[in-house]
Structure 1
């Protein structure tokens, strides 16, 4: 009994000593560590992108204009090579056409003889005086006119026959790169048979065609009169090839079509690009980047990784002078590499959280570290704000 009292007393004493000890207190965690950057503010050009197709400035189909056997393919015909204008490429069997020329010349000589005889007859009847009636003189004059017409017809026939004979030799009409031969030698070619022998493409300069949608076409149409009246220079566009590599030469816009395609709702636009290295080929597809402004305009750019989105829209997290997190709702513009243009919501002097966003909460303090902006910066544009180094 005494033992139980002693144990109870000891337990009460222990409880009292515990309850009288130091109370537990909650220690809040330290502010989250984040990395921040200043936006880049610079003169920035923006672009509209289109899918374009390359066409040669000149593309000529070489036809056989007269019918005959393809007698010869000359040694100057080298498929895939550039040939100069005037190069002899093909010969068609010309025997029938030489005969036609000789026949036409004979008919011309016959007509000329008839004309001479008609003129002599007319002169004799005129000199005969009263011995010949006026009717006979008029008949002689009509014979002269008919003979003269026959001479003109014979001369035309000679010209036609000689021209047909000249078509038996086919020369390159332009300087350009020649295709393969579409018809084998010794086949019948010309009208009524295979008439296209090959094609020649002048690829020193290439055309680039692309289609602008109605919304962008309307912007151009509203300014077209101003552009034409002030003789403003058409925009220079850049091309990107199918392998993702930029084309080294710019293209110059030279024509916008005069109608909107009712089926596609687009305006066809043409640019011209030099092709000294022969990289561009007829039929090639490219990406066309057209500048939206005549001159670059000042823009605010932030890293894409700093941009977040929720039901309220796009936003970034920034910090104020007391290092408290503030949400900034933004409106996005074009992408520039790993940067995004911000058209609304930022002035350009904010400190934007780029690392540690998951630990930052709006209205909570953070421990920021200002880091260098290592995104690509176009050296061709003037920077208005330089990112701060570590």
Structure 2
């Protein structure tokens, strides 16, 4: 190759490199605009939301009875199994019946003697009536005979009552269950002397199906709720239709719903609380007297509540609630709002938001007020959805 050809080729190569460098320099000086960040949004709308109060409570038996003796004597046998279910009328203890059998026999003899005296008095009264009709006896003799007959009748009635009392005491020597339910431990043993007028308790029976849940609510909270119902801001449940559910102390839910029975008409002057009572079925015996529970009671329904997912609510340094709201031009703006109660995984917004507006739920870490965004409908995770549904069912 000639020298001139080599020089020409080198010049062409340098020209190509120069053009490429200029192109690269121009490209780096004018980079393409970045696409707007993608965010997940929800469009809020007014919908009915139940107002569910979470209140502390304790389980109580529907019926409780202390087993006490009705006669005095020595306990000779305990019949029941401690901790078992007993039925009304079941024999629990047996008190020595021998003294009471003797009393019955004595009362029977007294009644027979009174019947014999009554028969004699009746015969004498009949005889005196006949003699009086013949004017053989005096009126005083007849009056005396009639009085003796009346006294004999009274003696028979008294003897009959004494026999009934003796038989009743004999029946009471079998100490029976006054109600059906679960009986606790035996508080006395065989050989113990029990007294009909004593204060000793032989055992305790509690009826545990159904059970009561006694819980309290601040009077101020109930007053505000009643005012909102009166003003038409809320709608209350129908009479006897209030939904009541239980949560155990570990947060798990009792599977069977209950019903509200009543609320007290007085306020506890020491605590400012109003006591209410609900009834729950307890066929499996999971609810025991004295157990601490949380009572979820639906007391009203907000017919036009605006809710957003909990994670959409931001807080500034002063603790005020904020939301990113996306406008029609897809520009996100930070807006202060007023937060109300929490229902499941949703938060009720009581001020600063309108129905139909779009709120950022995910992706707000990538944006700032005034930033243009690429909104997409928010799809909650399956576990979040299930928790929300379970809490909504509880409410």
TM bucket (normalised to shorter chain) is 0.7 to 0.9
Query: Matched residues in 1 for 2:226 and 2:58: separation?
Result: 21
Output aligned runs, 1:145-184, within 5 Å.
145-184=150-189
Residue in structure 1 matched with residue 333 of structure 2 by the alignment: 326
Q: TM-score, normalised by structure 2?
A: 0.76
Matching residue of 1:12: none
Structure 1 SS opposite 2:256: coil
Counterparts of 1:215 and 1:190 in 2: how far apart (Å)?
50
State the distance in 2 between where 1:106 and 1:69 align: 26
Q: Using the TM superposition, name which of 53-62 and 65-74 deviates more.
A: 53-62
Tell me by how many angstroms 1:194 deviates: 6.1
CA RMSD between the two structures: 3.3
How far off its partner does 1:127 sit? 1.8
- The number of aligned residues is 347
Structure 1 Cα separation of the partners of residues 155 and 226 of structure 2 = 61
Separation of aligned partners in 1, 2:299 and 2:275: 17
**Does the 8 A contact of 2:55 with 2:296 survive in 1?**
yes
Measure how far apart 1:87 and its partner are: 2.7
Is 2:93 the partner of 1:86? no
Tell me how far 1:273 sits from its aligned partner: 1.0
1:103-182 pair list within 5 angstroms: 103-129=106-132, 130-182=135-187
Structure 2: give runs of 5+ residues left out of the alignment: 1-30, 231-236
The equivalent residue for 2:100 is 97
**How high is the TM-score relative to the length of structure 1?**
0.77
| Structure with greater helix share of residues | 2
Aligned to 1:247: 254
The gaps in structure 1 that reach 5 residues or longer are 1-26, 225-229, 383-390
- The question of whether the paired residues in 1 share the 8 Å contact of 2:41 and 2:362 is answered with no
* Aligned mates of 2:199, 2:95 — CA distance in 1: 13
* Secondary structure of residue in 1 paired with 2:293: strand
Q: Who is 2:306 aligned against?
A: 300
Q: Measure the CA separation in 2 of the matches of 1:263 and 1:113.
A: 69
* Distance across 2 between alignment mates of 1:270 and 1:235: 12
Report the Cα distance in structure 1 between the residues aligned to 2:171 and 2:319, rounded to whole angstroms. 78
The question of whether the paired residues in 2 share the 8 Å contact of 1:302 and 1:339 is answered with yes
Q: CA deviation at 1:380?
A: 8.6
Q: Give the Å deviation of 1:172.
A: 2.7
Structure 1 residue runs of 4+, over 6 Å off? 29-32, 221-224
Task: Tell whether the 8 Å contact from 1:36 to 1:351 is kept in structure 2 after alignment.
Answer: no
Tell me the distance in 1 between the aligned counterparts of 2:354 and 2:228.
31
Write the deviation string for residues 158-204 of structure 1: whole angstroms up to 9, x where unpaired.
11111111011123333322211111121112335564211222222
Segment of structure 1 superposing worse, 104-113 or 235-244: 104-113
- In 2: Cα distance, 1:274 partner to 1:217 partner: 26
1:115 Cα deviation from its structure 2 partner: 1.9
Aligned partners of 2:57, 2:49: CA distance in 1, in Å? Answer: 24
Q: Does the aligned pair in 1 maintain the 2:44–2:358 contact within 8 Å?
A: no
In the TM superposition, residue 268 of structure 1 has moved relative to its aligned partner by 2.6
Distance 1:240 1:312, change over 3 A: closer
Q: Partners of 1:221 and 1:317 in 2: how far apart?
A: 33
Q: CA deviation at 1:356?
A: 6.0
Which residue is 1:342 aligned to? 349
Residues 216-295 of structure 1 aligned to structure 2 (within 5 Å): 216-218=221-223, 219=225, 232-293=239-300
Contact kept, 8 Å, 1:34 with 1:357, in 2: the verdict is: no
SS of structure 2 residue aligned to 1:288: strand
After superposing the two structures, state which structure 1 stretch, 364-373 or 132-141, moved more: 364-373
